[in-house]
Structure 1
Amino acid sequence: MLTGDTHNIQGFWVVGINYKKTDASVRGSFAINNDQYATLLEKAPEYGLKELFILSTCNRTEIYGIANNSDQLAELLLSVCEGDRKTFNEIAYLKNGTPAIEHLFQVAAGLDSQILGDYEILGQIKIAVKQAKAKGFVGAFMERLVNCVLQSSKAVKTNTSLSGGTVSVSFAAIQYIKQHVLEIKKKKIVLLGTGKIGRSTCLNLIHYLGTHNITLINRTFDTAANLAADLKLESAPIENLNAELSDAEIIIVSTNASEPIILKEHLANTGKKLVIDLSVPCNVENGSELLDGITVVNVDVLSKIKDETLENRRAEVPKALAIIQEHITEFKEWHQMRKNVPVLKEVKDKLKAIQIDAALLMTQPAKETLTKEETIQSVINVMATKMRRNNAAGCHYIEAINDFIAHHG
């Protein structure tokens, strides 16, 4: 039996893990790739779920949905993860009702990102919701909520400096290289993975470090070759990975594989190398950092880089929270009115069904100008206003109108 009361905010849950209590390797065991996401959506009805979406990034894995309890969402998520339930219970958080809604708003604004104000999360939310909606798992409640969240995030970006400056995981990688590598233009860089983050990193390498000594590699060769041609860089097929890595001095990994792509055998006895892994789960084999000459840096290390821009962003947090609260209030008002729609329709139908002189429902001076239909709509409008103002369920107004009609019947 499917569950989920879309007329009750208390039916909205989020269950997940993020960077605050886990490192990248643990988060990786609970990460969800596209194939797993498709499987989750197929299995959702078995868990009594009909409205949900999953957000899986390098910072977090979260499942949002309408449910009777958090276990429904957690069990579904864990049904495809490598991670076990015991570990999940130790590190997971769950939020319900208004706290869950507030959490989603803050995530979308970049307030809950590992790098404060990281705006890439908004695009990831859009993709996650689009996938769920395509399979019919985004109903009226969720769609309205997400739209409000997107509007709020846009308002935060427009009216604050929370995302001001250039600070993201990909940019943090550039800062790390700049701080730890001399004569960068002479170093051969291999960038593995040319998706959104990989492309962003590539552009940052060129713009901020002034280097074109970059070779792009991607599972789909044409993707890497086309980007390389546009930026006047080199590209290589995945089959040449071993040789390219052997020659590289800086390796940046931005892939979305469920298993490590860079193995210890690729790095052993190949000289001094800096390996930056932007992937979660980690796509560099565990233990590589123990090899002679090999330094491995992941997203957790990059997030600790101090930057003046981040200090400026922290000062914008109160302003961002105030904007978010305004949008949450608007959503709750919509939600309250949506709850009242069945009541208002019932009253309107009753008034239409009762044969009564319209004059009895009218007040001066509208009495001579309004039809019965117009008068009924006027009554409904007044009733809706009172229900919104008083946050009332409406039953008292039904009784009042029925009493009024009965009195004049």
Structure 2
Amino acid sequence: MDENIPLNISDFFVAGINYKKTDAETRGQFAINNDQYNIILEMAAAKNIESLFILSTCNRTEIYGFADSADDLVSLLCTQTTGTQQVFNKLAYIKNGVSAVEHLFNVGAGIDSQILGDYEIIGQLKKAVKFSMDRGFINCFMERLFNCVLQASKTIKNSTELSSGSVSVSFAAVQYIKRALVPSDTHKILVIGIGKMGSSTCKNIVDYLSGSQVTLINRTEEKAAGLAAELGMNYAPVEELTDYISSSEIILVATNASAPIVLKEHLVNKGDKLIIDLSIPYNVEPGCEELTNVTLVNVDELSKMRDDNLQKRQAEMPKAKAIIESHISVFLTWHQMRQTAPALKAVKTRLSDIYVQHFAETQVNSGKCSLNNAEGKIQRVVNDMAGKMKIKNECGCHYLEAINEFILAVAN
């Protein structure tokens, strides 16, 4: 993509589904893993869609990008989902232009999260954008927008109480465990999967469930070993997963597998189990909750927990929204300046040509205007034109006006 070509903001779309209209099972049908993400980007290039990224978390799947229509993006996304495009369109929200920009700011700030003020979403957003950027699918508009979203999120976190306390799905999971179980120093906890969600869950376990015996199992054993050493936990190879499922009383599943990895057969007659499935799609086999010895909780149920800090965080919403509005204004100003830059450059070049062709020799010889003064007058006229275009973008009218103003300025 030629980065010098101004982009029309109305061609920027977001299409997505989230927890507001879908349950976790439905969202799982539209979850995207990295392999699927990569295929979508390859297909996008073939369709001349050159800038997009996909945010797929436990409470949303969204595709952002530049296209002729949102349907172009949705059709790409749904080539890799078990859910159909027809179902997605029925449940989806679609925004474009400034509305899409505002939506991304709200998502990045945790305002649109299932748990208000969720601080994990910004890390998930960083990961999603980086994946696309590393493959050349983030243009200058989206890079600048994402950086502004990061700045707004940081300002909100540092200057408001929107994320007061620990606010995240992983924190809610650990708090659920803490409330559900009789205090004990001998809880045997198994954490399966230590990506972003799993790692955060482990750190919350250290902070709020000290004394528990925690074992980590991950597809990449070296990664499990590293985190276990950092946090003072145990780890085991994935080949021993069945044994550890049997012996653990609390199981946290934070994997990103395409099919369940905790099966009903693993749990039958294996003692009481509390299983928290943080995965989308579910990575605990359907029907496990029917076992009398199993309590199974998913992300939607976690979001319904009593939240002692919710009222306090809700009171911070006006401050957070004001910060977002300020950063959106800065971004839109940058975008408008980028759109007008070619026209302003053309005017500056044309005014320089007019001066050289019609005024330079007589003005300099008469002492009325030096070359430096002429350049200063040209720049003042261009700056004035830029100011007028910010108010009303009528390039042709301002172009003629700028030439007239310059001619008068030089002649006088």
Q: Is the TM value for this pair above 0.5?
A: yes
1:323-355 Cα offsets, whole Å, 9 max, x none, are 111111111111111111111111112112221
For residues 173-192 of structure 1, the aligned pairs below 5 Å read 173-192=173-192
Aligned match of 2:392: 391
Aligned match of 1:307: 307
Letter of the 1:397 counterpart: H
Task: Measure the CA separation in 2 of the matches of 1:360 and 1:67.
Answer: 53
1:203-237 Cα offsets, whole Å, 9 max, x none, are 22122122231111111112222222333322211
For residues 126-205 of structure 1, the aligned pairs below 5 Å read 126-205=126-205
Aligned match of 1:272: 272
CA apart distance, 1:256: 1.3
Secondary structure class of the residue paired with 1:219: coil
Task: Measure the CA separation in 2 of the matches of 1:183 and 1:405.
Answer: 81
Aligned match of 2:54: 54
1:350-402 Cα offsets, whole Å, 9 max, x none, are 1122212259999xx995683433332232122212222x2323211211233
CA apart distance, 1:404: 5.2
**Share of identical aligned residues, percent?**
52
Task: Measure the CA separation in 2 of the matches of 1:73 and 1:53.
Answer: 10
Secondary structure class of the residue paired with 1:61: strand
Task: Measure the CA separation in 2 of the matches of 1:361 and 1:284.
Answer: 83
Q: Could you say if the C-alpha distance between residues 360 and 384 of structure 1 is closer, same or farther in structure 2, counting changes exceeding 3 Å?
A: farther
CA apart distance, 1:188: 1.2
1:127-176 Cα offsets, whole Å, 9 max, x none, are 11112122221111111111111111111111111011112111111111
CA apart distance, 1:185: 2.0
Task: Measure the CA separation in 1 of the matches of 2:339 and 2:271.
Answer: 66
Q: Could you say if the C-alpha distance between residues 231 and 340 of structure 1 is closer, same or farther in structure 2, counting changes exceeding 3 Å?
A: closer
Contact 2:385 2:402 in 1 (8 A): no
Q: Could you say if the C-alpha distance between residues 366 and 329 of structure 1 is closer, same or farther in structure 2, counting changes exceeding 3 Å?
A: farther
Q: Does 1:378 align with 2:365?
A: no
Contact 1:212 1:232 in 2 (8 A): no
Secondary structure class of the residue paired with 2:345: helix
Letter of the 1:392 counterpart: N
Q: Could you say if the C-alpha distance between residues 184 and 22 of structure 1 is closer, same or farther in structure 2, counting changes exceeding 3 Å?
A: farther
Aligned match of 2:294: 294
Task: Measure the CA separation in 2 of the matches of 1:16 and 1:10.
Answer: 17
Aligned match of 1:22: 22
Secondary structure class of the residue paired with 1:356: helix
- Mean Cα displacement is larger for which, 194-203 or 241-250? 194-203
Q: RMSD value over aligned CA atoms?
A: 2.3
Contact 1:192 1:252 in 2 (8 A): yes
TM-score normalized with structure 2 length: 0.92
Contact 2:169 2:299 in 1 (8 A): yes
Secondary structure class of the residue paired with 1:16: strand
The answer for unaligned runs of 5 or more in structure 2 is none
Q: What is the aligned length?
A: 404
Q: Could you say if the C-alpha distance between residues 184 and 311 of structure 1 is closer, same or farther in structure 2, counting changes exceeding 3 Å?
A: farther
- Mean Cα displacement is larger for which, 241-250 or 194-203? 194-203
Aligned match of 1:402: 403
Contact 2:186 2:212 in 1 (8 A): no
The answer for unaligned runs of 5 or more in structure 1 is none
CA apart distance, 1:48: 3.5
1:39-94 Cα offsets, whole Å, 9 max, x none, are 11111033341111111111111000111111001001001111112221221111
Secondary structure class of the residue paired with 2:182: coil
CA apart distance, 1:108: 0.2
- Mean Cα displacement is larger for which, 323-332 or 102-111? 323-332
For residues 200-279 of structure 1, the aligned pairs below 5 Å read 200-279=200-279
CA apart distance, 1:268: 1.5
Q: Does 1:332 align with 2:340?
A: no
Aligned match of 1:341: 341
Contact 1:167 1:310 in 2 (8 A): no
